[in-house]
Structure 1
Amino acid sequence: MKDAFLRFERWTSGAAMLGACLMLVIASSLGLFQIITRFVLEQPAEWSEILIRLSLIWMVFLGIPAAFRQGAMVSVDVLYRWSPPRVRRVLDWVVAFAALALITVILWWGWDYAQRGRVQSMAGLESISMFWGYLALPVGALFCIVGIIGNLIDPKRMELETAQ
């Protein structure tokens, strides 16, 4: 059961990171396009700015799960280093519970915002609903939940002193 979940977690974390990298490529390509159209062609494409912003939002919310999986989002390093192994495991559970509580709030309200945003359109892109912008919150939160549980089951930490 544990191994099956960790395989699932590796797959979802990889998919989220791939999506985050893809959104970075889209944002940087659109940024270059916007610079060329604005300063070289002197014909700015207003729609590209909105898509850059949208892709950066998706990039962040798809990249956060990797940080949770590595245990890098909520850090209690000093307390963790000074604690015996049993207390460390308790700290893992406390941090995981706190992170899951926060992510659950983001999931709940993100989905609520996405549902409410269906009737709004993006400024500059009237044909695209704000639903797609707000959807980044619950989608990223779902990936985060899997990463947090994966980190709780199989903690991965790299101490600063041992990092090469």
Structure 2
Amino acid sequence: MNVLHWMWKHLEIFLGSICLVVIVVVTSANVFMRYALNAPIEGAGEIATMMFVWLVMFGISAAAYENLHPRIDVLVNVLPNKLKIIIESAIVMLMVVLLVDFMVRGWDYAWTSGIQKRVGMFDFSYIYVYMALPVGFCLMLIRILYHFFQDMKQIFRKPNAG
């Protein structure tokens, strides 16, 4: 159970770290090969680009888990608690609608545009790159809903009698 809990907390950081390591290793090796041996690694730029796309999508989800996305909540903080809950709930519902829309559009984009485009040297479909959009937005949606339900549980928790 500890492994599952750790994966829940650190999934995007773990996957993003793998992407970052691949980017650094491939780019460094390519720079060495290009300038020291005058034989660049074919496809190194494509690999780095693909990993950057996935890294960004894992990053936005990780930021959602840590509540690090920027907010302007000066006005919300001065409101009465009930109104604050209503506004926060409306914002979360708007985000849910937008993220579901982004997931659907990302899925469609991956399967319509990605199937037509090929990654140069490797000759595989760009679907693997474009699928970062729906996967990243889905992870972000899960993280936002998790925090929303945790917050609601805290707000509506009944104090212990005794």
Alignment TM-score, normalising by the size of structure 1? 0.79
Query: Aligned letter for 2:58?
Result: L
Q: 1:39 aligns with which of 32, 35, 40?
A: 35
Corresponding residue for residue 151 of structure 1:
147
- 5+ residue gaps, structure 2, are 152-162
Counterpart CA distance in 2 for 1:40 and 1:92 is: 56
Corresponding residue for residue 121 of structure 2:
124
Matches within 5 A, 1:31-70: 31-70=27-66
Matches within 5 A, 1:10-29: 11-29=7-25
Per-residue deviation, 1:125: 2.6
Corresponding residue for residue 94 of structure 2:
98
CA RMSD in angstroms comes to 2.1
Distance 1:74 1:94, change over 3 A: farther
Per-residue deviation, 1:111: 0.7
- 5+ residue gaps, structure 1, are 1-7, 156-164
**Structure (1 or 2) with the larger CA radius of gyration:** 2
Deviations 1:118-158 (A, max 9, x none): 242113332x2101000101111111111010111124xxx
Q: Which structure is richer in relative contact order (CA contacts within 8 A, separation 6 or more)?
A: 1
**How many aligned positions are there?**
147
Distance 1:91 1:71, change over 3 A: farther
Per-residue deviation, 1:13: 4.8
